[in-house]
């Protein structure tokens, strides 16, 4: 599937690319599931990627060039149908676009462990983002933690913080429908910020100016607010008056393209992605997955996926001959 112009996508037939290093063992992978990363792919779909970010926004196996046309995505699960014996038949995750077949070096594939279903494995890249966010925010046991924005990333961050001993984790989102999924994940949900304040760490993931203002207002003295939203070409007003300076609040940018400095000396991208995959064993995470739609229907469905106000979390794409 290619994003071809603002608000338009289409499925194209093309030859498979060969890996850059033909000397390494390669795999042919048949797609089973992929997932739409709503925040990033919505900006691409609407042509809202700033020119300054064209190079940094490139996904590992993206086709084309920004702004259009581009083949984009990074939540792909498939089954190895040709390759080395130790991978043959294995379900694997890769940071690949939405397409039916892949040919990659084996080093670009992360095996899906038996404890993780192929469908749930599409969450690996988003879990990796959440893991990096937790490294950045450094929440501790018994902390009061707020997550503003109950989208996919916000919910995964809250899920990772949930089991810190004694921690009080609150997810804040104006959509009442988020209460149900929070309950399934074992999270405390609030529709407003009322009753939540003086937080030790706040994660902001709503991609709205109002949400960012709420996040700053929730932070206690010398607390950190970790900004996870990416706004594309949008200018966002930030409430830096009121208590921002007097309380020495720290507003920290976090982006998965960088490994948090506290872990960078020891971790690489593959280790972090593999760790994220291992964190998907809990069946309660299936609450984040929307009912799959067929790959061939994706160009017609994609406008509704990105519709403003949509309450979809992780939209799963199912491919022909994929598992149920």
Could you read off the pLDDT of 56-94 as tens digits, one per residue? Answer: 889 999 999 999 999 999 999 999 999 999 999 999 999
Domain-embedded: residue 273: no
Least confident of 39-43, 212-216, 275-279: 39-43
Q: Facing residues of 26 across strands?
A: 105
Rounded to whole angstroms, how far apart are CA atoms 21 and 19? 5
> Which of 227, 253, 279 is the C-terminal boundary of a domain?
253
CB 137 within 8 A of CB 170: no
**Are residues 139 and 63 part of one domain?**
no
Helix (H, G, I), strand (E, B) or coil at 139: coil
Q: What is the structure's pLDDT at 323? A: 55
Q: Of 134, 230, 211, 140, which is closest to residue 172 (Cα–Cα)?
A: 211
Domain-embedded: residue 264: no
Q: pLDDT higher for 18 or 187?
A: 187
pLDDT at 19 over 70: no
Q: What is the structure's pLDDT at 154? A: 97
Domain-embedded: residue 261: no
9-23, 196-210, 236-250 — most confident range: 196-210
Tokens 């995505």 belong to which residue? Answer: 73
- The CB-side HSE value for 310 (13 A sphere, CA atoms) comes to 17
> Which of 253, 280, 297 is the C-terminal boundary of a domain?
253
The 10s digit of each residue's pLDDT in 237-266 is 988 888 899 999 999 999 888 899 999 999
For residue 227, the Cα-to-chain-centroid distance in whole angstroms is 14
Helix (H, G, I), strand (E, B) or coil at 201: strand
Domain-embedded: residue 279: no
Count of the separate structural domains present in the chain: 2
Domain-embedded: residue 64: yes
Q: What is the structure's pLDDT at 210? A: 94
Rg for the chain (alpha carbons), in Å?
20
Q: Facing residues of 318 across strands?
A: 33, 294
* Mean pLDDT of the 301-312 span: 90
**Are residues 154 and 109 part of one domain?**
no
**Are residues 308 and 205 part of one domain?**
no
**Are residues 135 and 92 part of one domain?**
no
The 10s digit of each residue's pLDDT in 207-220 is 999 999 999 999 99
Domain-embedded: residue 310: yes
**Are residues 247 and 131 part of one domain?**
yes
**Are residues 314 and 214 part of one domain?**
no
pLDDT at 297 over 60: yes
The 10s digit of each residue's pLDDT in 135-172 is 999 999 999 999 999 999 999 999 999 999 999 999 99
**Are residues 156 and 113 part of one domain?**
no
**Are residues 51 and 25 part of one domain?**
yes
* Cis preceding-peptide flag for 67 (omega within 30 of 0): yes
**Are residues 147 and 110 part of one domain?**
no
We report the CATH number of the domain holding residue 192 as 3.40.50.720
Domain-embedded: residue 323: no
Q: What is the structure's pLDDT at 243? A: 87
Domain-embedded: residue 267: no
**Are residues 141 and 63 part of one domain?**
no
Tell me the pLDDT of the chain averaged across its residues: 94
- Tell me which residue range forms the domain holding 201: 126-253
We report the CATH number of the domain holding residue 15 as 3.90.180.10
> Which of 253, 276, 305 is the C-terminal boundary of a domain?
253
Q: Facing residues of 78 across strands?
A: 31, 92
> Residue 234's pLDDT band (boundaries 50, 70, 90)?
confident
**Are residues 213 and 160 part of one domain?**
yes
**Are residues 106 and 57 part of one domain?**
yes
Helix (H, G, I), strand (E, B) or coil at 160: helix
Q: Of 312, 235, 238, which is closest to residue 48 (Cα–Cα)?
A: 235
* Mean pLDDT of the 297-320 span: 93
Q: What is the structure's pLDDT at 147? A: 98
pLDDT at 109 over 90: yes
């Amino acid at each position: 599937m290619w994003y071809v112009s603002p608000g338009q996508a289409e499925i194209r037939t093309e030859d498979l690319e060969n890996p850059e290093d033909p000397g390494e063992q390669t795999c042919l992978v048949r797609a089973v599931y992929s997932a739409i990363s709503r925040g990033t792919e919505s900006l691409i779909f609407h042509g809202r990627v700033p020119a300054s970010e064209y190079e940094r926004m490139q996904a590992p196996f993206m086709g084309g060039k920004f702004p259009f046309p581009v083949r984009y995505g990074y939540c792909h699960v498939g089954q190895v149908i040709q390759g080395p014996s130790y991978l043959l038949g294995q379900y694997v995750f890769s940071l690949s676009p939405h397409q039916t077949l892949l040919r990659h070096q084996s080093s670009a594939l992360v095996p899906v462990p038996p404890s993780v279903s192929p469908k749930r494995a599409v969450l690996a890249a988003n879990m990796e983002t959440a893991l990096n966010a937790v490294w950045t925010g450094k929440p501790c046991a018994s902390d009061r933690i707020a997550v503003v924005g109950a989208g996919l990333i916000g919910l995964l961050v809250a899920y990772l913080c949930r089991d810190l001993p004694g921690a009080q984790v609150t997810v804040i989102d104006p959509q009442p429908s988020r209460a149900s999924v929070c309950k399934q994940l074992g999270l405390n949900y609030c529709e407003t910020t009322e009753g939540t304040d003086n937080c030790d760490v706040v994660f902001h993931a709503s991609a709205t100016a109002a949400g960012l203002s709420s996040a700053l207002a929730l932070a206690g003295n010398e607390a950190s607010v970790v900004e996870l939203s990416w706004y594309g070409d949008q200018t966002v007003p930030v409430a830096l008056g009121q208590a921002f300076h007097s309380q020495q609040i720290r507003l920290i940018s976090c982006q998965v393209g960088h490994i948090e400095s506290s872990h960078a000396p020891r971790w690489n991208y593959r280790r972090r992605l593999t760790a994220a995959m291992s964190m998907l064993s809990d069946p309660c995470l299936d609450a984040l997955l929307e009912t799959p739609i067929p790959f061939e229907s994706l160009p017609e469905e994609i406008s509704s996926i990105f519709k403003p106000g949509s309450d979809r979390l992780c939209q799963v794409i199912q491919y022909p001959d994929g598992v149920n």
